[in-house]
Structure 1
Amino acid sequence: MKVGGWDWVTVEATPGYEVRQPLPSLLQRITNSIFLAMMWVLRNWLGCFIGLIALLALHRNRFQLMNLLNTFRWKLGLWWRPQRALILTLNLLHQRAELTGAAPKKSKTHHQWLGEMMTRTNDINVAQSLYALRKLIDAAAYAPHSKASEKDCAQICQTCQRGCSLKWFQTEYQQSQAADDQNQVSQAERMKHVEYTGAAHHEY
């Protein structure tokens, strides 16, 4: 019989009558939950193994999957609103750069960034398309009345998105950027050496 709260009193107990046990402690409940979870995993080990492999594959290819999603949205945007092809393409290139950790600084304009990309590609067609893309964006921003045909814009945008792929940002762009950073460090070290030797010569 329950007399209040969680207290139970056995009334007229008979042999073999089961007395209600007290509630398990918090530690016991946690231990029991872990044990039940382990038993469930053992009973469903095949499904858990397949799920683990799938999660690892998703994590390893997460950048490629996100790029596929961004590219699909870009294509859908070109079909739905072709007049926004320039801004959609620029956003796609930004997204790919962010996925590879090569996003431009906030202080850098699109004109500077696209110009930097032109110097980092070995494909002359991609460089020309980036130049045309930059020119069209500048014209749209500063001379909105000078409009290019949607067909030309679409062709330029297609070439840019194919040439500046996620793999390109991961390899060619970052290698070129690392080489430039190394050159800047070397130049800074040479300048320090020149300043040091000049100061030492002045003391003598």
Structure 2
Amino acid sequence: MTVITVLHDVKENVTWLGSNGRATIGSYVGPSRDNKWFAVHGWAIGITGSGPKVEALEAHLNDFPKDASRPHEILKFMKTAYSDFDIGEVEEGLKRYSGNGLLIHKSGAVWDFDNSFCLTPVEPGVFWARGSGMDIALGAGKALKDFVASPKELTRRVLEITIATDVDSPGELPVQTFDANGVLSDPIEA
């Protein structure tokens, strides 16, 4: 499983994205870096859970709604890509996609989505997290917010705490930025 985090930095006009660097399958930790963030046409998508989700999105890049201005348009694209890769299962009449995520627009707007693609907006400037390490990350973020002024440093410290204490969120501390031009930086090892 995983943890992904997001915090918009108004002063720098970037959104700080974080994650743990590895995936788990049961108690086995994957041997290579696990990419949890995907950016395209002014949107960044953070993905948790199992399955070839990033691969499904990459395979459908030609179908991405290039002028999308609403998060629902992105989720519709994701549903199509996931369905083509046979990701998800029907449970009690509702299609579920084995994982959750975060959706970020280049403007700094953030939405949380669950495994059935229900959207919830995240308040501007609020530190947020998703994945199996979510509770630890949110607790650490809340505890540290008054003591750590830099959004980058807060993101780094929360990931450090989560990775150290959640067995399902192993790996390195990759922190990235997503800017107002829709550019996702390479991971900055914290």
TM-score if structure 1 supplies the norm length? 0.21
- Structure in which a larger fraction of residues adopt helix: 1
From the two aligned structures, give the one with the greater strand fraction: 2
Query: Looking at both structures, which has the greater relative contact order when contacts are Cα pairs under 8 Å and sequence separation is at least 6?
Result: 2
